[in-house]
Structure 1
Amino acid sequence: MRIFLQQRPEAGEQPKFYQIVLQQDLLGGWILLREWGQPGLRTSSKREVFLERKDALDALSKARDAQLKKGFQVMFSQGADDPRRV
């Protein structure tokens, strides 16, 4: 599952992005990867591992909701019918 969010840039600035990716690892756990920054500039990332899918989905929802509150908009989602309802 992948959700790509973007924030509308101020005049003269590049847009900011926030990407959340959830995937299952080879041992049956779940990896939540978050990446954020500005295209072409320095980016940051954070990786979390969960044993249960439900816990990983809860963390994904929490991360997505936090970014929506900051003014980010969902630009692309893959693997979910509605990116606002995971």
Structure 2
Amino acid sequence: MRIYMQTKPVAAESPRYYEIVLQQDLLGGWTLYREWGQQGGRTSSKREIYLERDDAIAAFTQARDAQVKRGFLVVFSQGLEAPHVR
């Protein structure tokens, strides 16, 4: 599963982005990758490992919802249903 989100661009600044990727590893575990930053600028990333699929999906959903609440808009999603935005 993968989601790419962006903020709306402000006059002179590049938009900020947040990408979340969930992948199953070869041993049956799940890895949640997060990358964020300003396009064309410095970025940060984080990796979390989960043993259970349900825990990994819950973390993925929580990360997505937190960024939507912060004003990020979903630009691209792959491998999951459309995000539920309130």
The two structures have a TM-score, normalised by structure 2, of 0.94
| Consecutive unaligned residues in structure 2, runs of 5 or more | none
Alignment partner, residue 40 of structure 1: 40
| Consecutive unaligned residues in structure 1, runs of 5 or more | none
Residues 23-80 of structure 1 show CA distances to partners (whole Å, capped at 9, x for unaligned) of 0011100000000001221100000000000000000011000000000000000001
**Alignment map for 1:24-63 (pairs within 5 Å):** 24-63=24-63
Alignment partner, residue 83 of structure 2: 83
Alpha-carbon separation, structure 2, partners of 1:3 and 1:83: 9
Superposition RMSD on alpha carbons, in Å?
1.2
Could you tell me how far 1:10 is from its partner in structure 2? 1.6
Overall identity of the aligned pairs, in %: 64
1:21 paired to 2:21: yes
Query: How many pairs does the alignment contain?
Result: 85
Alignment partner, residue 64 of structure 1: 64
The two structures have a TM-score, normalised by structure 1, of 0.94
Amino acid at match of 2:71: G
